[in-house]
Amino acid sequence: MRGLRDLVRLVGLRREVGRLRHEAELKDGFIALASHELRAPAAVVLGFSETLARRGRELRRDDLAELHAVLHEHSVRLNRVIDQLLDISRLDASVVPTEPACLPVRARLEDLVESVAGERADEVELNVPDDLDVVADETAFERIVSNLVTNAIRYGRTHVEIRADSDDRHFRLTVEDDGDGVADELVPFLFQRFARGEHASGAGLGLSIAQSYAQANGGRILYEPSREGGARFQLILPSRAA
């Protein structure tokens, strides 16, 4: 019996060592990737800011406009990465917002699309009833939808459709694009951290963060290819009385 207990203990120790080694590898990979994702936009912002500070008065109006546009683009990218890192730290510490409130879906989506899509907002079609509400944490809902819409804009071509409805049991929000969809080999790992396709941009954290927020609010995100070959993501949350 003692030998059996020792064997069981040894197996448990090996599993724990394997788990700790895996976590250490993930941490090292995360630090390296985060450093890379922060360094690139930070270098651009610093370089262009120095150019404006030193030679701003010498530059033509068109050159100044181009510099400001690039500065804004990389500032947005830098802010997005920082937000993702903060989200990761909260999720790892289990400090996840769970303060449900009644949110007007269409109004929130209109604001989010304008913020995320920018000049491409007219490519996003909203098929959402005016009187539809969802009971969810406001920050979590915005993080989830922002990630889904950002991906659809980034990897779609010219059209993104957002649909939403609810019944007595569930609220469903679907974001569908007309891009090339997700490669078959990536689908099983789609919601894992650092999961990225061959030509993907970003740190590979957005969908993992979105799924964690959905689960913290009692829901989940599902993926399936659209009929036209693009990507279709569906957020499902439980219907609750406000």
* Percentage of residues of the chain with pLDDT beyond 70: 72
Average pLDDT over residues 175-182: 90
Which helix (H) or strand (E) segment holds residue 175: the answer is strand 170-177
What CATH number was assigned to the domain covering residues 2-92? 1.10.287.130
- For the sheet with 231-238, list strands across it: 124-127, 160-166, 170-177, 231-238, 220-225
pTM of the entire predicted model = 0.66
Helices (H), 93-162: 105-117, 138-155
Task: Please give the C-alpha separations between residue 207 and each of 23, 51, 118, in angstroms, as whole numbers.
Answer: 19, 36, 21
Would you list the domain boundaries of the chain?
A: 2-92, 100-238
pLDDT per position as a tens digit, 94-118: 666 678 899 999 999 999 999 888 8
pLDDT per position as a tens digit, 7-18: 556 656 666 666
Judge contact between 207 and 88, C-beta under 8 A.
Answer: no
Q: What is the DSSP letter of 203?
A: -
CATH 1.10.3720.10 fits 100-238, yes or no: no
Between helix 206-216 and helix 138-155 the angle, nearest 10°, is 150
